[in-house]
Amino acid sequence: MLEGKRVNLRVMEKEDLPLFAEWLNKPEFIGEYNPLRQISRTEIEKDYDKRSLEQTGFIIEKKDGSKIGYMWHFIVVHPALKLLEIGYFLVPSERGKGYCTEAVNIMVDYLFLSKDMIRIQACTELRNIASQKVLEKVGFKKEGTIRKSIFNRGEWKDAYLYSILREEWKEPKILTKPQARAAHI
């Protein structure tokens, strides 16, 4: 468990998959700027069983244990590099309260403390201001536009690529050192 002040990140377990399937199939959870998809629980279970250590999903939980969202890190395949990327979703009723900003801060601390990576990146549709604000508040910088990279509601949309470098992060903002050591093990 990665513990923050108002939210925790807990590695997703098989028991979470029914709720996860329910979330993924709800357009209001996915949001208007991300591709619509309908996926069966069986497919989700297969994906879960195939996942590698480099691709891990986390449930975002409030301190009372209520499940309010999902965040994951994964590797983007590139001919020369291994690019570590994150993504996140919150249930609509818990948006706009700063929870995602804290969850991204926790994830960035965790990834830089536990993995020998020099950068973490995220992509967001041009109109997704809430997501861009989250990234900027955590210290991500906008690198540029990936043109026509998201197919959503019948149209190809441009996205911004954001990243934060290890040297910009400098030190953990939320995770305490003993906790971070435990997460690494």
Ligand X SMILES: CC(C)(COP(=O)(O)OP(=O)(O)OC[C@H]1O[C@@H](n2cnc3c(N)ncnc32)[C@H](O)[C@@H]1OP(=O)(O)O)[C@@H](O)C(=O)NCCC(=O)NCCS
| Residues of this chain that bind ligand X (CB under 6 A) | 31, 33-34, 87-90, 95-101, 124, 128-131, 133-134
**Distance of alpha carbon 113 from alpha carbon 86, whole angstroms:** 15
Q: Which residue, among 141, 72, 79, 78, has the nearest Cα to 111 in the 3D structure? A: 72
Q: Which residue, among 159, 105, 91, has the nearest Cα to 135 in the 3D structure? A: 105
**Distance of alpha carbon 159 from alpha carbon 117, whole angstroms:** 23
Q: Provide the token pair at 123.
A: 């992509």
> Could you tell me the smallest distance in angstroms from the CB atom of residue 136 to ligand X?
9
> Could you tell me the smallest distance in angstroms from the CB atom of residue 98 to ligand X?
4
> Could you tell me the smallest distance in angstroms from the CB atom of residue 5 to ligand X?
13
Write down the residue that tokens 């395949």 correspond to. 77
> Could you tell me the smallest distance in angstroms from the CB atom of residue 76 to ligand X?
14
Nearest position to ligand X, beta carbon: 31
Nearer to ligand X, 52 or 93 (CB): 93
> Could you tell me the smallest distance in angstroms from the CB atom of residue 29 to ligand X?
7
> Could you tell me the smallest distance in angstroms from the CB atom of residue 157 to ligand X?
12
Nearer to ligand X, 4 or 169 (CB): 4
Q: Where are the beta strands (DSSP E) in the chain?
A: 2-3, 7-11, 56-62, 67-77, 82-90, 119-125, 141-152, 155-165
- The distance from CA 32 to its chain's CA centroid, rounded to whole angstroms, is 17
Nearer to ligand X, 18 or 92 (CB): 92
Nearer to ligand X, 33 or 58 (CB): 33
Instruction: Indicate the SS3 state at residue 63.
Output: coil
Nearer to ligand X, 89 or 140 (CB): 89
Nearer to ligand X, 133 or 181 (CB): 133
In degrees, to the nearest 5, what angle opens at C-alpha 107 toward C-alphas 140 and 26?
95
- The distance from CA 10 to its chain's CA centroid, rounded to whole angstroms, is 12
